[in-house]
Amino acid sequence: MSDNRTIELTGKQNRYLRGLGHSLQPFVMIGKHHLSKEVISSTDEALDKHELIKVRIQEGCLEDRKIVAAELSAETGSAVVQILGNTFLLYRPGEEKIITLP
Mean pLDDT of 41-64: 93
Task: Please indicate, yes or no, if residue 44 is contained in any of the structural domains.
Answer: yes
Predicted pLDDT of residue 1: 46
For β-strands 26-30 and 52-57, DSSP reports them as parallel
Predicted pLDDT of residue 2: 45
Task: Please indicate, yes or no, if residue 32 is contained in any of the structural domains.
Answer: yes
Which residue range(s) make up the domain with 40?
11-91
Task: Please indicate, yes or no, if residue 43 is contained in any of the structural domains.
Answer: yes
Give the CB-side neighbour count of residue 19, counting CA atoms within 13 A: 9
Euclidean distance between CA atoms 24 and 9, whole angstroms: 20
> Tell me: the pLDDT tens digits for 12-37?
999 999 999 999 999 899 988 788 89
Predicted pLDDT of residue 49: 93
Task: Quote the mean pLDDT of the chain.
Answer: 90
Task: Please indicate, yes or no, if residue 97 is contained in any of the structural domains.
Answer: no
Task: Please indicate, yes or no, if residue 34 is contained in any of the structural domains.
Answer: yes
- CATH code at 78? 3.30.110.60
Euclidean distance between CA atoms 38 and 35, whole angstroms: 8
Confidence of residue 5 (pLDDT cuts 50, 70, 90): low
Euclidean distance between CA atoms 32 and 63, whole angstroms: 9
Predicted model pTM: 0.90
